[in-house]
Chains A and B, each alone.
Chain A
Amino acid sequence: MTNFFTSSIGKKILMAGLGLFLIVFLLVHLGINLLLIIFESRDPFNIAAHFMGTNVLIKIFELVLFGGFLLHITYGLIVQMQNWIARPVSYAKTHPSQTSFFSKYMIHTAVIIGIFLVIHLFDFYLQAKIFGGVPEVVIDGKTYHDLGLLVFEKFKIGWVVIFYIFTFIFLGFHLLHGFQSAFQTFGLDHRTLTPVIKASGVIYSVVVVAGFILIPLVIYFGN
C-alpha cells in the first residue's frame, strides 16, 4: 500500500476520487446558489450560507473539501509535470487524432479554474471569516452575514459577470473529459454502464455549468 499513491496509476486513482467528490460538492453549491434567484428574498440563501459556515458537521466537511481541492490540485500539477518530462523533445508536425478533445487541455482548463478559486476564496470565504466587512442582515431576530447582498453587488459589475461565465465554461470543459475519465481510471468498463456514465458526464457538465451561469445573468439583467 505504501507505493500505491506514488505510482502513476495510484496518483490518477486519487485524483479521480477527489474529482468525483468535487463533482458532488459542486451540485450542493449550485443548489444553495440557486436559492438566490429562486426566491424574491435573499434570506433563504443567507440562512443556508450561514448553516454551511457554522454547522459542526459541515465544518468538518469544509476541512475535507479544502483538503480535497488541495490534493487534487497538487496531484494534478505533479502528474502534469511528469507527463511533460516524459517527452523532452516534441514533434515538429502533429496531427489531431481521434481522441477525447478536452483531455488534451485538462491543465489549461485547470489553470483558469485555479485562478478563479483564489479570487473566489478572497471574495467570499476570507472576507466573511477573517477580513470582515461583510454587510449584515437581521432575519427573525438573528444576525446573519448578508453574503447574498455581496453576490448581488458583484454581479452588477459587467466584467465580473463575464469572468465568472468564462470560468464556468472552462470548468465545463474540464468536466466533459474528467467525469467519464474518472470512471475509466477506477477501472470501470461495462457494456451498458459505461455509455450511461459518458452520457451522464455530458448532461452533468452542461446542466451544472448552465445553472451557475444563469445566476449572474439573472442578477445582471434583473432589476
Chain B
Amino acid sequence: MDFTLKIWRQKNSGEKGKFVNYKVGNVSSDSSFLEMLDVLNEELILKNEEPVAFDHDCREGICGCCSLYINGRPHGPDELITVCQLHMRKFKDGDSIVIEPWRARPFPVIKDLIVDRTAFDKILMEGGFVSVNTGNAPDAHAVPVPKQNADLAFDAAACIGCGACVAACKNASAMLFVSAKVSQFALLPQGRVEAKERVRAMVAKMDELGFGSCSNTGACEAECPKGISLTNIARINREFIKAGSA
C-alpha cells in the first residue's frame, strides 16, 4: 500500500513546528501503524534526514506510550485500540493521513510527535496509591470485597495513562483519566480510608496543571483504548461532593 503522510515536525518544545509531507510506499496491509512509520524512518535515515520522533514501547497495547492523533482521532480510526495495535488495512491504498501530537497545554511537545505527559505522573503522585505499612502480605480473603465492586475497580484500573482522553476532549480535560484512578481506589475498602484526601488532592493538581473541565461530551469514552466508562466521571463527581461537604 502507498500513503501520503502529513506529519507534524517540531525540533523541540521551544521552536515552532510545521507539517511536512512524506510519501511512503510498499507498506504491508498487515503492518501496524508504528511499523509503517518505522519504514518511513529507515528511508529518512538512508537519505540522511532526521527521522520522525514518536513515542512507543511495548507495541502490544499495554504501556500507553504510543500517542498519535491520526486523521482527527487519538489512536486513529479503530475502536478500543492503541496506535501500536492499529493495522494499515484500516486505511485505503493511496490515502493521505494527517499525524499530529496530542494537543493540550499540560502536554507540551518535546519533539515531533512526542509530548511530555509528566502531568499525569504529577496527578498520580497526589493520590494514586494507598498508604500501607509494609510487612507480610495479608490473606486475600482478610478484607471482604463485594464482587461487583472488585469488577468495577478492575475495569477502572485498566487505564494505561495514554492521554487519549485528554487529546480527544474539546476542553483537553483529564477527567476520564483522573476519575479512573480515583475510582479504582474508591471502590475498594483499602482505598476508602484516604478517599476524601485523594479526590481533593488529585482534582486540585489536575486543575493546577491546566487541564480543562468536563462538559460531559463523551469524546473521551468514545476514544479511550481501554473502554474506561463515563460512569467513572459520575463517581469522581460524587466523591468530590462527599469530600467537599465534610
A residues with a Cβ closer than 8 A to B are 1, 3-4, 7-13, 79, 82-83, 85-95, 97-100, 103-104, 106, 177, 180-181, 184-189
Could you pull out 14 A-B pairs where Cβ atoms are within 8 angstroms? A1-B244, A1-B245, A7-B204, A85-B105, A86-B104, A86-B171, A87-B104, A88-B105, A97-B223, A103-B215, A184-B216, A186-B241, A187-B235, A189-B238
B80 interfacial contact with A, CB 8 Å: no
Please tell me if the beta carbons of B233 and A92 are within 8 angstroms of each other in the complex. Answer: no
B residues with a Cβ closer than 8 A to A are 6, 8, 19, 69, 71-73, 98, 100, 103-106, 168, 170-173, 200, 203-204, 206-207, 210-219, 222-223, 230-231, 233-241, 244-245
A8 and B219 contact, Cβ closer than 8 Å, known pairs A187-B237, A189-B234:
no
A4 to B236, CA, bound (A): 14
3 nearest interchain CB pairs? A95-B72, A187-B238, A189-B234
A87 and B73 contact, Cβ closer than 8 Å, known pairs A4-B244, A10-B240:
no
A89 and B103 contact, Cβ closer than 8 Å, known pairs A9-B203, A184-B233:
yes
Please tell me if the beta carbons of B203 and A87 are within 8 angstroms of each other in the complex. Answer: no
A187 to B235, CA, bound (A): 6
Please tell me if the beta carbons of A83 and B241 are within 8 angstroms of each other in the complex. Answer: no
Total inter-chain residue pairs, C-beta < 8 Å: 131
A181 to B98, CA, bound (A): 32
Q: Which residues of B contact A4 (CB under 8 A)?
A: 244
Please tell me if the beta carbons of A9 and B211 are within 8 angstroms of each other in the complex. Answer: no
A36 to B234, CA, bound (A): 42
When C-beta atoms are compared, the residue in chain B nearest to A96 turns out to be B72
A9 to B240, CA, bound (A): 8
Please tell me if the beta carbons of B100 and A93 are within 8 angstroms of each other in the complex. Answer: yes
Q: Which residues of B contact A189 (CB under 8 A)?
A: 231, 234-235, 238
Q: Which residues of A contact B230 (CB under 8 A)?
A: 184
Please tell me if the beta carbons of B19 and A92 are within 8 angstroms of each other in the complex. Answer: yes
Q: Which residues of A contact B244 (CB under 8 A)?
A: 1, 4, 10
A18 to B236, CA, bound (A): 20
Q: Which residues of B contact A88 (CB under 8 A)?
A: 105
When the two chains form the complex, which single residue of A1, A12, A90, A104 contacts B217, counting CB atoms closer than 8 Å? A104
Give, as a whole number of angstroms, the nearest-CB distance from A155 to chain B.
35
